[in-house]
Amino acid sequence: MLSRLIYHSENHLGAVGGKMIADLNKIMDASNKNNERDGITGALIFDTLWFVQILEGDREKISATLRRLMADNRHDAVTIVDCREITERRFGNWWMGLAMLRGNTDEIYARHGIGPRLDPRKLTGEQVVAVALELAQGGLNRRLAEAA
Ligand SMILES: Cc1cc2nc3c(=O)[nH]c(=O)nc-3n(C[C@H](O)[C@H](O)[C@H](O)COP(=O)(O)O)c2cc1C
């Protein structure tokens, strides 16, 4: 059964910097590998306080991913925003795309009524999808550039 799960969580990666980016890249590498295997697509939006993730795929596979995610101490307070059956994928090109709240994305967040800081507790699932799709048009990242 094709389903979509959206959750937000508290980012425990610590302050922005080389280590946070390296940690994020580890998450993205594991996610892209596992999600390709499991047929899961989606997007991960983050800033220094929050993660917001959209997962699309088979209900059993999404649930298994959620169980692994909830045991991961790189974030906490996993909170379900929305979970439903869907008829088609919206992020079919992305095993997991990454978008960060900074500079050039401020305008997009503002247009969706978000900002100056991301607060996913105030967002509906549809708002999360709309923002992620707009961010995806500009190209999501697989990884972030690590400082030399
Ligand atoms: C915010 C966040 C998002 C994550 N997203 C995914 C994901 O989409 N898919 C995935 O397999 N693991 C994801 N992970 C990593 C899992 O918690 C876990 O570390 C990983 O699935 C273990 O993979 P492994 O058994 O291949 O080492 C995420 C972790 C965090 C903190």
pLDDT tens-digit series, residues 105-144:
677 777 777 766 778 999 999 999 998 888 777 666 666 6
Give the CA dihedral 137, 83, 124, 130, nearest 10 degrees. Answer: 10
79, β-bridge pairs: 8
Q: Residues 66-105: pLDDT tens digits?
A: 999 999 999 999 999 999 999 999 988 777 766 665 556 6
Q: Which of 72, 76, 100 to mutate to test the pocket of ligand 1 (most atoms within 8 A of CB)?
A: 72
8 A C-beta contact, residue 142 and residue 97: yes
pLDDT at 134: 83
pLDDT at 136: 77
Mean pLDDT of 54-63: 97
Q: Whose CA is nearest to atom 6 of ligand 1?
A: 31
- Count Cβ atoms below 10 Å from residue 3 Cβ, excluding itself: 17
- More confident: 147 or 19: 19
Assessment of whether the complete model's pTM goes beyond 0.75:
yes
8 A C-beta contact, residue 101 and residue 47: yes
Q: Residues 10-55: pLDDT tens digits?
A: 999 876 667 888 888 899 899 999 999 999 999 998 878 889 999 9
Mean pLDDT of 54-60: 97
Quick one: which of 91, 92, 95, 94 has its CA closest to 131?
Answer: 91
Quick one: which of 21, 41, 49 has its CA closest to 145?
Answer: 21
Reduced 3-state DSSP string for 40-61: CEEEEEECCCEEEEEEEEEHHH
Distance from Cα 111 to the centre of ligand 1, integer Å? 30
Helices and strands, number each (H, E), in the chain: 4, 5
pLDDT at 27: 92
Q: Whose CA is nearest to atom 5 of ligand 1?
A: 31
For the domain covering 2-137, report its CATH number: 3.30.70.100
- The angle subtended at Cα 55 by Cα 139 and Cα 60, nearest 5°, is 150
Quick one: which of 132, 101, 100, 113 has its CA closest to 6?
Answer: 132
